[in-house]
Amino acid sequence: MNTVRAAPRAAAAALAVILLLFAPAALAAQELVFDEQEFLLARVVAVVSQEETLIPGTDTLATRQTLRVELLSGERAGEIVTIENDYLSLREGEKFYLLHTRDVIYDTETFSVYEPDRTPALVFFTALFIIAVIAFGGLQGLRGLLALAVSLFFITYLLLPGILAGYPPVLVSIAVASLIVILGSYITHGVNRTTTAAVLGMILAISLTGALATAAMAWTRLTGTASDEAIYLTFGLRGSLDLAGLLLGGIIIGLLGVLYDAAIGQAVAVEELHRAGAHLSKRTIYARAIRIGREHIGALVNTLAIAYVGASLPLLLLYVNASADLAVTVNRELFATEIIRTVIGSTGIVLAVPITTLIAVWMLVHRRGKETPPGEEAEKPHVHMHRH
């Protein structure tokens, strides 16, 4: 009887010993082994075959090619391989980037077309832009290019690493945007009171825009996960990135270009009005500068909105092609994000005009003249000539 009862216990003990001995090896064998991938530059040697085929499950035609290509980079440079291509139609002699994937477990490899080689076109049009700016902008254009280079440097080496390091994206974006504004403005327009007035106006407008964007994000409950890039970042960084904050930072950085134009324009307008009419009071100059700013606002807001619409054309086409109700479509995070981005950015521009104008008047207009109602010229003093 005792022997019968002890048998299951002995079996259980033996099973436990086996699991303890072999479980680590089994778990090690189940560890994920990732494929080895590399991007290689290649050139089409010959188009072996080309045909139109239907994409499975659809009635859409796609071009399928069999290509012989020469590898131009990597350890196997100079080797000729044959690949199948159903992504992008390529011509003989055309260069492109391919993705070389090697399955470590089964020791197999595949080649797939990744992207065409756009480097020559990118270099040409970038050089054309630089030449045009220097040719027509002169020294001021050269300063603008230098300011652009500084801005890109700060975004690449301060903003992105700061966000990836886990710092709050909103605070990092405001700090980097302020730094870009300060150095970029002084590099382009020199160190003077007019530039300082514009800089102060921009920094204040950026801070207010950040506060508005934070409130809008909280109220609309946007998560920042609407785009494919956000999903890739979530998995790539294992959820450690604040995607909502990243969206806020994008709104702030995206505002800089147009905001810069508005603030500098208003500061210069105040300076020129004061030079042209030194007898005008601060109140009169402010009112006339605001009149200029209103025209500027109309153009800049339209520019910003159209720029966002242009970048969101696929979303608009998706709405037009969808059968869902307008309220349902607009409520989707993809659309709501673009709406918030546009209206908050435009609000920041609108706020920058009166803020910068007020600061510029306070800093640049020193001589107080007779208070003149807006729209009326102050009369200049008459000089009476007496003939002796």
**Given this model, what pLDDT does residue 12 score?**
52
Report whether pLDDT(363) > 90. yes
Domain limits at 285?
139-364
Helix axes 243-276, 193-220, angle to 10 degrees: 150
User: Which pLDDT band holds residue 7 (cuts at 50, 70, 90)?
Assistant: very low
Within a domain: 113: yes
Does 229 share its domain with 332?
A: yes
Burial class (CB in 10 A: 0-12, 13-18, 19+), 158: middle
Domain count, the chain: 2
Of residues 110 and 23, more confidently modeled:
110
Report whether pLDDT(2) > 50. no
Within a domain: 298: yes
**Given this model, what pLDDT does residue 76 score?**
87
Report the chain's mean pLDDT, rounded to a whole number: 80
Judge whether 347 and 251 are in contact, CB under 8 Å: no
Residue-wise pLDDT for 87-146, tens only, equals 888 899 999 999 989 887 877 888 888 899 999 999 999 999 999 999 998 988 899 899
Does 308 share its domain with 191?
A: yes
Does 154 share its domain with 99?
A: no
Does 353 share its domain with 223?
A: yes
Report whether pLDDT(18) > 70. no
Does 144 share its domain with 42?
A: no
**Given this model, what pLDDT does residue 204 score?**
94
Judge whether 205 and 259 are in contact, CB under 8 Å: yes
Mean pLDDT for 175-196 is: 90
Within a domain: 163: yes
User: Which pLDDT band holds residue 376 (cuts at 50, 70, 90)?
Assistant: very low
Within a domain: 387: no
Does 83 share its domain with 231?
A: no
Within a domain: 388: no
**Given this model, what pLDDT does residue 171 score?**
86
Within a domain: 43: yes
Closest Cα to residue 66, out of 25, 102, 23, 111? 111
Report whether pLDDT(377) > 60. no
Does 164 share its domain with 110?
A: no
**Given this model, what pLDDT does residue 247 score?**
82
User: Which pLDDT band holds residue 386 (cuts at 50, 70, 90)?
Assistant: very low
Within a domain: 49: yes
Does 196 share its domain with 95?
A: no
Within a domain: 381: no
Closest Cα to residue 72, out of 140, 119, 137? 119
Of residues 303 and 254, more confidently modeled:
254
The continuous run of DSSP H or E covering 299 comes out as helix 282-311
CATH number, domain of 108, equals 2.40.50
Residue 12 dihedral angles phi and psi, to the nearest 5°:
-65, -40
* Partners of 98 in beta bridges: 40, 113
End-to-end CA distance of the chain: 147
User: Which pLDDT band holds residue 300 (cuts at 50, 70, 90)?
Assistant: confident
Highest averaged pLDDT of the listed ranges 27-31, 32-36, 333-337: 333-337
Report whether pLDDT(256) > 80. yes
Report whether pLDDT(28) > 80. no
- Judged by average pLDDT, the poorest of 31-40, 259-268, 340-349 is 31-40
Using the structure block, give the residue that is written with the tokens 């007020």.
358
Does 177 share its domain with 60?
A: no
Does 207 share its domain with 316?
A: yes
Domain boundary among 58, 82, 117: 117
CATH number, domain of 227, equals 1.20.1640
* Partners of 102 in beta bridges: 36, 109
Of residues 175 and 32, more confidently modeled:
175
Does 97 share its domain with 227?
A: no
Judge whether 155 and 181 are in contact, CB under 8 Å: no
Does 69 share its domain with 181?
A: no
